[in-house]
Structures are given as structure tokens and as C-alpha cells.
Amino acid sequence: MVQAEIGLIGLGVMGSNLALNIAEKGNRVAVFNRTVARTHEFYQEAGALQDNIVPCDTIEEFVAAIRPPRPIIIMIKAGDPVDQQMQQLRPLLEKNDILIDAGNANFRDTMRRFDALKDTGPTFIGMGVSGGEEGARHGPSIMVGGTEESWKRVEKVLTSIAAQYNGEPCVAWLGENGAGHFVKTIHNGIEYADMQMIAEIYGILRDGLKMSAGEISEVFADWNKGRLNSYLIEITAKVLEAADPISGKPIVDVILDQAGQKGTGKWSVIEAQNLGVPATAIEAAVAARGISSMKVEREAAQKVLGLPAVAPLSVSDRAAFIKDLELALLAAKIGAYAQGFAVMAAASREFKWNLPMPTIAKIWRAGCIIRSQFLDEITTAFTKNPDAVNLIVTPAFAAMLEETDAALRRVVSTAVLGGLPVPALASALGYFDSYRRGRGTANIIQAQRDFFGAHGFDRVDGADSHHGPWGSGLGAGA
């Protein structure tokens, strides 16, 4: 029998779709599932693709069916199950065989697994896969972290199954150990921010301007024809247009206002804090999802506190305000992406990955959830300014912020005065105002710390600091 080019373990929805994608692109793939019946069911359902699929009943048969050095994709629940699967495979592996975790893993687990296999013969790839079920089946965005040699072994297969943008595959090797999964984590953090900002704009249109779901759908559909063109804006318009088959009402009006989360957004915030990089828009989005889950508490709080005692939103020029909303969303989106890329730049330095920022923007242009026209502009900005410390100081994005700044201020102030929550939009504005201000207010914080903790301080005039009356030993500074 001709051996498979790659193997895949775990035939759930994502694993099945990825295996079918691999087979459809002309690659022979061996498949194994803990439940043997599922393996045979999958094979029968594969239809015309069966010639490129090798169903295996045992793990030993599975490993033997793959051409050495054997790349094995693990598509099972993240965490301990991956470690258990690795332990089962380990005695069967040979030198240069490759275990590939393609789930939503914490990049620190990926680094641990990579190090555990280092110098033992086999190696490890942490592979971020974005695009959900549809992407897995027809072309995801793929972020690879591992040795360059292991990447070269799987490059042909992964390139064939990745999404395409103007003929370019949306897949790249980004560095060793946890690089791929870290980039996927930040991708998801940006996704959280993007979705939250859209939700806040939707809230202004719904509760501020009292527009119907259908009317709001038309607004987003119109925006999708311009600079906000993206998958998220597109599906927002479609969701707002859809009707509930039971009640006939707009589907969004019957969906509970509680958003779930899988943890990757939280990880992105934690790692930003660990690296000392502000990611306030992402943090606000993660917090907003947390508050959304507190439905019972929110309803009880409204009974006690009521809604803010403010006048109804007053907009003299409705069309102009909707244009402001479009520009404000663009501005806030810039903030979220700037923060995400800044976190990745810091991680690249910390873990010595040398993450290629233009390449990351390129492979997010198709296949993934945050795919958008906007990423073309980010690619160009980082290509022209590879040493830029922040996206917002590149000439193109500085010009965009100058154009959208006033609109973001008007939208945030109007929403706040109208009692409408806009945590992510407001956080983006606060980030811009803090980042662009050469002299801030942290001098008073440092003076307080010095007073309580006997710390020296940096002087504006560059002279040596001295304690004088400071440092009285009243306590350790925060």
C-alpha cells in the first residue's frame, strides 16, 4: 500500500473537515479516532475522496501507514488529552517524526511539549488554525511554530490546504516552539475586540437611534462595501437580516445577550500583561464578555439601580452621525490591531522568535475570522516600516487616525452622555490619547511610590534624583 503523506488523529467536526480538505487537495491522509466506529463512519461519508484516505483501527496501524518522517496532526480537546495522546504515540515514533497540535492550545503548553521532545528524536509543531469548521474544510489560515526542518516536511501539504488570497497561500512558518500558537492567541484577542466594537456600534444604532435590526443590517452591508470590508462586518449584516423561523422576529432579537468564550481571549490579555504591553481594547472586550455572562446579576442590578438618568440620544443629523459611527469603528479597529501587533512584537523579542509582522498580516487576509481588506494596509505598513514600534506611528495609519480621531471622540462622548456602554471604543480612545502624549501624569504616581517606598525617581531635567523628605518608611510603594 502507498503510505500516507500525513496522519490525523481526532475525527470530530474540525478534524473531519481538515482531513477531507487534505484529501481533496490530492494528499493521502491516514486517519485514526479513539472510537473505531467513527473512523469507519468518516471513511464511508468521504465518498469520492476515499482513495486518498487510509482509515486505521489501531494506533500502531495508523503510525505504520504514514511515510517517514511522519507528520501526525492531533485534533482533539486541548490540555491533558493532548499530553495523553502524545504519551500513547511516543513509543511508536522514530527520529524526525512530527507531532502537530492543531487545537486551540495555550502556547506555554506548546513550548513545554516542544522542549520535552527536544533531542529525543521526534519533534513538535504547535499549529494555529483559524477559520472554524468552514475554514478547516475549504481553507484555513495556518500559523506554524516548530523547527524549520519540521516545517519543510509539512510545507507542501499545509500550503495546499490553506486559504488563498490573490494566489498567495495563507500559511507560514513563524518561528520555533510556541510561535504559531502565540500568534493564534493574539489573533483571537483581536477577534474579541473586533466583535465587541461591532456590538457596541450595534447597541448605539439599536438603543440610541432606535433602529430596527433590518435597518441596522443595511448600515453594516453598506459599510462592508468600503474600508470596513471584512468577514465580521459581512456576517453581522447577514445575521441582522435573518429571521427566527419560529417567531418570525429578527433572529438577534430572540438570542440571549450572553456571549461565550473559549479562553484564548483571556490568554491574550494575560500574556499582554506578562509582557508589560497595554492591550486595553482587547482587555475591555474580554471583560465585556464576562459581564455579558452575568445575566441574572445584570437584571437584578437594573431593578435596584435603574438605567442612567440621561436624556434620550439626540442626533441632529442622523446620516452624519452614522458616518461618524463608521469612522469610529475604523479608528477603534486600528487601536485593537495596533495593540495586538505590539504584543506580538514584545513576545518575539522575549522568546527570540523573530516574528515576521508583514507575513502575519498577509496570512490573516483570508481563511480566518478577522480576515479583512484592512489587513492589506497593515501588510503594506509593516513592509514599508519594518522597524516601526507601533502600527499607529506608521505614516499610513497615522494619517488614518488623524482622519477618524474626531469621529471616535464624538461617538464615545455621545454614547457615554446617553448612558450607552462602549467599553472597547472608549478604551481605544484612551489608548490613543495616552500613547500620543509626551508628558503624562505618571510623575505623580512615581512621587507617591517614592514617598511610601523610599524609591529614587527619574527627573525631567535629567539631574540625579534625591529623596529629600521622601522615603519616610511609611510603607512599600505599589
Question: How many whole angstroms separate alpha carbon 450 and alpha carbon 445?
Answer: 9
Q: Which of 5, 176, 184, 326 is catalytic?
A: 184
Strand-by-strand arrangement of the 171-175 sheet: 53-55, 29-32, 6-9, 71-74, 98-101, 123-130, 141-145, 171-175
Nearest Cα residue to 326 out of 407, 397, 402, 424: 407
Q: If DSSP codes are grouped into helix, strand and coil, which group holds residue 311? A: coil
Q: Is 184 a catalytic residue?
A: yes
Question: How many whole angstroms separate alpha carbon 48 and alpha carbon 26?
Answer: 12
Q: Is 403 a catalytic residue?
A: no
Element (H, E) at 6: strand 6-9
Q: Which of 191, 283, 326, 377 is catalytic?
A: 191
- Supply 127's cell numbers: 499549529
Helix, strand, coil percentages (3-state) for the chain, rounded to 5, are 55, 10, 35
- Supply 2's cell numbers: 502507498
Buried b (16+ CB within 10 A) or exposed e, 8-26: bbbbeebbbbbbbbbbbbe
Length of the chain: 478
Residues 6+ apart with CB under 8 A from 116: 124
Question: How many whole angstroms separate alpha carbon 278 and alpha carbon 296?
Answer: 31
User: Phi first, then psi: what are they for 88, rounded to 5°?
Assistant: -70, -40
Nearest Cα residue to 392 out of 427, 341, 324: 341
Catalytic annotation, residues: 184, 191
